[in-house]
Each structure stands twice: as structure tokens, then as C-alpha cells.
Amino acid sequence: MDKKTKTIIIIVSCVCALAVAGIVALLVSMNHLRKENEEKEREIFNLNEQVAFEQSQAVLRFDDEHALDEQLQTFEHLKVDNDSLQQLLDQQTEHAKELVEEIKKLRKENTNDQARINELLKQLADVRELIMGYIRQIDELNAQNQVLTAENQQVKQENQQIRQQNTHLTTQNQQLTETVTRAKQLDVTNFEMTPLNKRDKKTRYLRKTVKLQLDYTIGKNITTEPGMKTIYLRLTGPDDQLLGEQEGKVFDFEDGQVPYSLKQDIEYAGEVYHGTFYWPFSGEAREGSYRVEFFADGNQIGQYSFVLD
């Protein structure tokens, strides 16, 4: 065999090999496409089966008038607190009622339009699913409301605790204010009465007494504001009548005005202060028990009693 013949044989062999490889690859590709088509056909078949099953189930759910009426009553008795959802429920219930009436009418007429009945039953099933979706929303809202209610209750409890704390603080502040007010209040720490005769000398005899010397002492108080103070004195006789009461002689005390016997303006600097009032009798001094009260800055700052005999 010459060289030229060998070359031809080799070329022919290569061409045949390539042809065989191409045919094999084509067969493999065709087989793969066939399998894909078979899988798609099975999926379509299964989907059709599922749709047919769901339609049959929809029909079976409402296979008689009793089932239709029972389902319709269930729809009509659904009531919720949410106005928007209640409106949607009412709309779908009305739609369901229309579908049921048409289905009953077709069945009563004994028509052969089973396809239309099945279509209406399917629509009724769709309405039922839609309503069930609303119910699920209602359940979710109720669950959220329960959480919010619990949170609201917790907030109320916390607010109650805060109010109690504020009340306690207010009470403490009031007590503190009262304490500070009492601390600032002047206080008559000592009182002494001396009967005087017409020569302003001390006397032991009631018939010679024409005047009373009323000495008082205000204690030291560094918390009160220093400055001019007006001291009011009320002197009550044996018959519990205020001595020296006159129209216009009043001072402010406890949201009212109180008459007084004498008053005195003093300059108080926070240190111990000694002061004196004089009360002249317009007639004879009467025997009996007397009471003297001191007031300043709207407060009663001292009260004493003495006896003339």
C-alpha cells in the first residue's frame, strides 16, 4: 500500500469517528429533551388533578341545601369590634347569600346546568376562604390587642406607682413646708403680768390697780426674715369679753379678720426680744381670770392666763 492510499484511509476513519460522535451526542440530547417533556407533562397532569380535586372539594362542601344554609348562618353570625373588617365581612356575607340563592334556584328548577352550579359553588368556596382570611386577621388583631392590653395594664400599674410616689413626695413637701413655716414662726417664750397703781408702781391690791403691765419675750429665731413686725395682743376679761374692742381694730388670721385689744410695731433681728404692753382700766379692775393672746405674721405666737384678786 502506497503512502497516498494510507493517507486517504486515515482521513476517512477520522470522518467516520466524528460522524459517530455527533450522532451519539444528538441521541443523548434528544433523550434529555424527552425526559424534560415527560416531567413537564407529569407536572401539568398533577396540577390538573389538584385543581380538579379542589373543585370537587368545593362542590362536596356545599353538596346540599342544609350545608349551604349552615355555612351562610356561620357567615351572618360573625361580628367583630373592628369597623373596617366588619364592613368587609358584611359585603362578603351578602355576596355569599346571593350565591346561595342562585344555587338553590338552579337546583329547584332541576336544570342540567351543572357546570354553572359548580362554578357558583366554587365562588362560594372562594368567599369562604376570603372570610376565613378575615377571621385570621381578626385573631391576629385580638392577639395584638391582648399584648397591648397587658402592656397598657403594666403602664397603668407603673403610673399608679408614680402617682403614689408623687403623692408621697407631695406629702413630704407639705410636711417640710409646714416644718419650715413653723420654724420661721415667732414664739413668745415668756410672759409676766404686773398690776400698777396710779403712780405706775406695783401693787398687791385690786382696788388700787388702774393699769396692767404685760411683759413678753420673743425667743431667738434665725430662720425668720428680720425686719419690722407687728405684734397684736388680745386681752379677754373674766366674762370672756375682749377688752378694748373697737370697729376697725382687726388683723388677718386664718382666712378671716380678728379684733384685737392692742398692737405694737417692733424691729426684730432674729435675737431674743423683750417687749411690754400696757393696758389701762377705764374703770375699776375686776376680779377674776384673764387671758392674753399674742399674734404676728398671721400666726398665734403665744397664749397665757392670769388672775386678779
Name residue 35's beta-bridge partners.
none
Average per-residue pLDDT in the chain? 79
- Average pLDDT of 39-52? 51
- Higher-confidence residue: 27 or 210? 210
8 A C-beta contact, residue 301 and residue 295: yes
8 A C-beta contact, residue 99 and residue 91: no
Q: Which of 5-14, 45-54, 136-145 has the highest mean pLDDT?
A: 136-145
250-267: pLDDT as tens digits = 999 988 999 999 999 999
Integer CA distances (angstroms), 2 to 5, 13, 14, 15, 266, in order: 6, 17, 19, 21, 156
Which of 19-23, 181-185, 202-206, 225-229 comes out lowest in average pLDDT? 19-23
Q: Which of 12-16, 32-36, 67-71, 175-179 has the highest mean pLDDT?
A: 67-71
Per-residue pLDDT, 80: 65
Q: Flag whether pLDDT at 233 surpasses 50.
A: yes
Report field, pTM of the whole predicted structure over 0.75: no
Calpha distance 61→70 (Å, rounded): 11
DSSP letter, residue 284: P
Q: Flag whether pLDDT at 65 surpasses 80.
A: no
Calpha distance 250→261 (Å, rounded): 9
Q: Flag whether pLDDT at 158 surpasses 80.
A: yes
Give the model's confidence band at 219: pLDDT under 50 very low, under 70 low, under 90 confident, else very high: very high
Q: In terms of CATH, what superfamily is 188-308? A: Immunoglobulins (2.60.40.10)
Calpha distance 85→73 (Å, rounded): 18
Per-residue pLDDT, 119: 85
Q: Domain spans of the chain? A: 65-156, 188-308
Q: What percent of the chain clears pLDDT 70, i.e. is strictly above it? A: 72
